[in-house]
Amino acid sequence: MPRHRSTSDPTPPCYAMVFPGLESIAAQEIVQDLRAEVKKTEEGIVIFRAPEINSRLLQLRTVEDVFLFAWGTDELTYRAADLERIRRWTDRQADWAQLLRIHHAIRPKPKGKPSFRIVVQMSGKHGYRRVDARKALAEGLAGKLPPSWRYAEENASVEFWLTINNATAVCGLRLSDRSMRHRAYKKEHAPASLRPTIAAAMVRLAELKPLHTILDPMCGVGTILAEILAVPTRYAVPPLVLGGDVSMSVLRAAGINLRRLGKAHLLRWDATALPLADESIDRIVCNPPFGKQLASPEQIPELYRGLIHESNRVLRTGGRAVILAGDARTIKESAAKVGWKPLRQLRVRVLGMPAAITVWKKE
């Protein structure tokens, strides 16, 4: 990783924090939507250089947060000597004045006294504590901000972040806020409701085309459907969006979440016996329940088999299915039984459990 950049760079690199497992999808979105060049991908991090740094960075859907890159390394030693490097790199290897200028252009300073916050995340076994790394970062930042700026844990105008992941560290200024990953549409939640960035990644993997009909047969509070409707400009003709669930209460919540986004047809149904014609659907994107979400987890294999069998009936030949499930083995066995071709698999952890997003084509 380039430890620092030349101070004459007109646009500094940026990095995005990504839900682990989704790095390749996020990198694809960054390249396609921002015309950016991806420099490096690490677990949970994508470093890139965009031709322009503007508010379009905040419209990315598969990333959790976006930052201006100050410095980075993949050569941490795990020893306390790293602390002096963190202090020195923060002090000397970043053009903080330029980064702050770009930050203020995208996120204007709120009225009143400007405030700042320091956030340090650390994983891996290091010979120092997170507070020590934080202190080193704070020492490196000394004199970089006007003395009138005050420290604030809440609603700070500027956030300095250092993320240490084993031998890798990235340091920068956060451009996004919590609204990037928590989506304004999500008014109603359910315990099993999907993280929006994962739903967005699944929608990308589905590769929707104009005039497609897309179905989430177990839509819960509608996160996958929302991620389709939330970016209408991506499609020349908006897709026909269908969703349903066995539970009336989550369907009501889905109706509320989707109300302002566009038209989705919602129905109460059993996903293993859908009231839909054979070969009528182009794309299925679905996140069936995980074992621990059902009263009796032993029902999962049967439910998954029924879901795939019925999905195969309604899916057009050439259609795709994108499925996030904990029990990927049953999904694979059922998909093999109906003759679906595997296209891709991404491993993720959902609700603390290993899971996989699998992508299939009906041939």
Ligand X SMILES: C[S@@+](CC[C@H](N)C(=O)[O-])C[C@H]1O[C@@H](n2cnc3c(N)ncnc32)[C@H](O)[C@@H]1O
Q: Interface residues with ligand X (CB under 6 A)?
A: 190, 192-194, 218-221, 223-224, 245-247, 250, 270-272, 287-289
Tokens representing residue 101 in the block: 């200028």
Nearest to ligand X of 180, 215 (CB atom): 215
Nearer to ligand X, 144 or 186 (CB): 186
Shortest separation between residue 211's beta carbon and ligand X, angstroms: 24
In degrees and rounded to multiples of 5, residue 204 shows phi and psi of -60, -40
Nearer to ligand X, 160 or 304 (CB): 304
Token pair belonging to 290: 């995980």
3-state helix, strand, coil in the chain (%, to 5): 35, 30, 40
Residue 46 Cβ, how far from ligand X at the closest point, in Å?
24
Distances (CA, A) of 66 to 63, 97, 165, 173, 189: 7, 19, 17, 9, 25
- Closest separation between CB of residue 304 and ligand X, Å? 10
**How crowded is the C-beta side of 226, counted as CA atoms within 13 Å?**
30
Given the complex with ligand X, which of 28 and 272 has the nearer CB atom? 272
Q: How far is the CB of 344 from ligand X (least distance, A)?
A: 19
CA distance linking residue 303 with residue 281, whole number of Å: 20
- In angstroms, give the least distance from the CB of 105 to ligand X: 35
CB closer to ligand X out of 92 and 292 = 292
Task: State the nearest-atom distance from the C-beta of 145 to ligand X, in Å.
Answer: 40
Q: What is the DSSP string of 208-265?
A: --TT-EEEETT-TT-HHHHHHHT-GGGSSSPPEEEEEES-HHHHHHHHHHHTTT---E
User: Please, which residue, 241 or 271, has the CB nearer to ligand X?
Assistant: 271
Whole-angstrom Cα distance, residue 191 to residue 26? Answer: 25
Sign of CA dihedral 318, 319, 321, 322: positive
Least distance in Å: CB of 149 to ligand X? 40
Place of tokens 């014609």: 277
DSSP H or E run through 189: none
